[in-house]
Structure 1
């Protein structure tokens, strides 16, 4: 056989015999009987033959692989059936600390309330946001959406950015500062309010001296009486956004609509009955042109403020949020107010508003 499995021509065979007979060094050797037999079989059998005395690795049949994958799938299904909450945590649903994968910050008002799945799961000291949509909200100011700055009214782009930042600073000083949450006077927040705004300064003075229905510090600030309750951990969950537009006399009118979620227990050592106080505030701030309005640099005029509070002590005006625990937690509205989903940000702040001369305490549909 020649190269490629072709028959040897008669001329080549005769040359082979002559050179072999003459003893030429390079004369080809006569094919053996075995080689001639293999060559004949190759001519007679079509297709690619197996190599003689060759080795080909066995093909993977996949039987064992399928068995392992099937076993893993079965184990996974069993785990979901026995502990769905824990398996959800594997994929970012809850986590060991009750926090989930954070949502993107809010850029506009949502069109519906967040899902209620898992709402029957009770919070714990280790997982204070368990069973709550807040598990997926941002921590502190990270949950507050900020708009891009642009030159507006009397302010340049840089000045607008500064005003937005200071507006967020006010929210942090009023609703996230640990000292204020522990009952201290919110001095840093108050310092951002225009000192020449007489009606607001009178309200602030009265609110901390003698809290009342009309002078309630909780309209703007979150405070707890640490002799009665304490926060669980050092994280407050938030969700909301800041927006702005040009206001009167070229002012920058900034609106903050933010929900704060505070997990708390009784102050007594070893208390582990976790409840959540939820506060949603809408605050409108005016950063005025000092050439047109009497103000101080770095301060704003307060235009309006509204608040919805869940489990914060309805109808009480002590100057502190007063959450209930267990059977103490209000299940009905003492003032006959409407049902409120404290996590629903698709509607405007209003139901349960404290201020503007009235209070309507609603019934929370979940905590």
Structure 2
């Protein structure tokens, strides 16, 4: 081969290398493999594929709707009450226990007349607990001369006294409050004198009215509607004089009653509302003469609505038929369900009817 031919061969060889195959990189080989295994049609610049629906969110919504429907089916009145539909009937959502002094009166309820079937209709008491369950007892801790276990027992017996004095069915019918008296210190002379006179006199005076401590109705005049008395209140305690454990009870009782002689379906129903504040002293027997399991009374106070305002009789006298005669010279109005206001202290010398006023609701 001549020199000219060799030079031409070299020039042509270098020129043709631009089209020679090149070994692909590892990344390029991986992309090519994925495209072979999952071919995909190219999209035009004006086209788009909508996102796949998220079925999980749809399931959440469906589950929530089903749960609400189940709750409505099982608890219709409670669910309606959550959304402002409570009509003040007995099926309203129960209130939580009262653990501290309320700051305001309960909201106004629809003005609905109580009936034999729904004696608490149209009243805040419709959402209160029944009987002793409405009296909150705080946790016990060592106080004064008592250890925690002794304080717990004193709190229980304090509530037992309230139950025996204000909820016992026999006492409500006017019988002797034997269980309540058994919890009182028999060596406290002034209280024993009061009990002896109050429970034996047919015409008690303001100082010896048994209503100051016990709830009573004349069975020939008044009949309780059903077996439920609504209550709301609490016990508190502190160290008192001479290391005693001083327990204070502040409880409101709501008694639905009807005339004893009227047994018709449309019989009149009235609610007698009684708020009691009783201070009890569980004394150290090393310092005060007492008996085991008994306490001394420090003070007691009473506010009542629809219980009579014409002088003490020893029994609550609901104003059936006509409005009770109440003294309104001072134009003082009282909401009997307002537990945010204090009950005036009473050492037993103030009558239950010394301070009659007009109730704004019952």
State the secondary structure of the residue aligned to 1:303: strand
Is the counterpart of residue 207 in structure 1 residue 177 in structure 2? Answer: no
2: distance between equivalents of 1:113 and 1:129?
17
The equivalent of 2:209 in structure 1 is: 216
Is the counterpart of residue 356 in structure 1 residue 349 in structure 2? Answer: yes
Cα deviations across residues 254-282 of structure 1 (Å, max 9, x unaligned)?
10000000111111242421110000000
2: distance between equivalents of 1:222 and 1:270?
23
1:234 to 216, 227, 235: 227
2: distance between equivalents of 1:121 and 1:164?
37
Which consecutive residues of structure 1, in runs of 5 or more, have no partner in the other structure?
8-38, 50-58, 70-75, 77-84
Equivalent runs, 1:34-73 vs 2, <5 Å: 42=41
1: distance between equivalents of 2:44 and 2:350?
103
The equivalent of 1:101 in structure 2 is: 93
Is the counterpart of residue 143 in structure 1 residue 134 in structure 2? Answer: yes
Give, in angstroms, the shift of residue 43 of structure 1: 6.3
Which consecutive residues of structure 2, in runs of 5 or more, have no partner in the other structure?
1-31, 50-54, 66-71
Contact 1:337 1:360 (8 Å CA) reproduced: no
TM-score (norm 2): 0.75
Give, in angstroms, the shift of residue 108 of structure 1: 1.6
The equivalent of 2:117 in structure 1 is: 126
Give, in angstroms, the shift of residue 212 of structure 1: 2.0
1: distance between equivalents of 2:318 and 2:298?
29
Distance 1:98 1:291, change over 3 A: same
2:108 to 98, 101, 116: 116
2: distance between equivalents of 1:44 and 1:215?
99
2: distance between equivalents of 1:232 and 1:247?
40
Contact 1:191 1:299 (8 Å CA) reproduced: yes
State the secondary structure of the residue aligned to 2:199: helix
Is the counterpart of residue 281 in structure 1 residue 276 in structure 2? Answer: yes
1: distance between equivalents of 2:276 and 2:174?
19
State the secondary structure of the residue aligned to 1:199: helix
2: distance between equivalents of 1:4 and 1:291?
94
Is the counterpart of residue 320 in structure 1 residue 315 in structure 2? Answer: yes
State the secondary structure of the residue aligned to 1:244: strand
Distance 1:45 1:130, change over 3 A: same
Give, in angstroms, the shift of residue 366 of structure 1: 0.6
Distance 1:108 1:87, change over 3 A: closer
What is the count of residue pairs matched by the alignment? 308
Give, in angstroms, the shift of residue 103 of structure 1: 1.2
Is the counterpart of residue 257 in structure 1 residue 250 in structure 2? Answer: yes
Distance 1:48 1:350, change over 3 A: closer
State the secondary structure of the residue aligned to 1:253: strand
Is the counterpart of residue 246 in structure 1 residue 239 in structure 2? Answer: yes
Distance 1:173 1:95, change over 3 A: farther
Instruction: Tell me the C-alpha RMSD between the 2 structures.
Output: 3.6
Cα deviations across residues 308-332 of structure 1 (Å, max 9, x unaligned)?
0101011332211110124x12274
Contact 2:299 2:348 (8 Å CA) reproduced: no
Give, in angstroms, the shift of residue 122 of structure 1: 1.3
Is the counterpart of residue 297 in structure 1 residue 292 in structure 2? Answer: yes
Distance 1:43 1:311, change over 3 A: closer
